[in-house]
Amino acid sequence: MLARISLFALAVVLLALISLVPTLQFPSSAEVSTFIGPRVWPLTLIIALLGLGSALLLITWRDARRGTTYDDELAALSHPPSGSVATQRFTFASTRHWWLIAATLIYTWLISEVGFLFASIAFTLVCTLLLGARSWRTILITLVVATLLMQGVFVTLLGIPL
């Protein structure tokens, strides 16, 4: 198990290092007309990926040196007690992640059809419902706050008109 985690962490670190070169070729904020350039967000993600992948790799190596094993815990999780037989059903709760992925794909398509702001409001509404909000007051507050944040961040802070 430690070998798999180490391999995964190493792959994450290598992905971050390989992605660093093309990301540094994006224009900076000094080269474009917006407050924050196109390089900032991908570079932030790559730095986070590099840091978290390195941390996972170091923690895994530390645990291997200490002799910590995860095989017993994994075996206990994969084999439920003999008295309970778990059957998988396709309920809304068990397929919620697929609905969120579908909503994200539709949102991506909808941006070009109706515009960013309206598509984002619709996406926020759908995601709020998918994540379990049932009170219309909560849903309305979420929509208003999300809309104000989108307007505030993109128009006011970044200078990108919607």
Contact 60, 9 (CB under 8 A): yes
Contact 1, 63 (CB under 8 A): no
Over the stretch 21-69, which tens digit does the pLDDT of each residue have?
A: 999 998 887 787 766 778 888 899 999 999 999 999 999 989 888 887 6
pLDDT the model gives residue 63: 86
Across the range 101-112, mean pLDDT stands at 93
pLDDT the model gives residue 76: 56
Two tokens, residue 63:
């645990």
The answer on pLDDT for 83 being more than 70 is no
Residue 90: how many CB atoms within 10 A of its CB?
A: 8
pTM value? 0.53
pLDDT the model gives residue 40: 84
Please state, in angstroms and rounded to a whole number, the distance separating the CA atoms of residues 105 and 129: 17
pLDDT the model gives residue 84: 54
Residue that has been written with the tokens 């990926």 in this structure: 49
Over the stretch 129-138, which tens digit does the pLDDT of each residue have?
A: 999 999 999 9
Across the range 85-92, mean pLDDT stands at 68
The answer on pLDDT for 91 being more than 80 is yes
Residue that has been written with the tokens 């992905």 in this structure: 15
pLDDT the model gives residue 119: 94
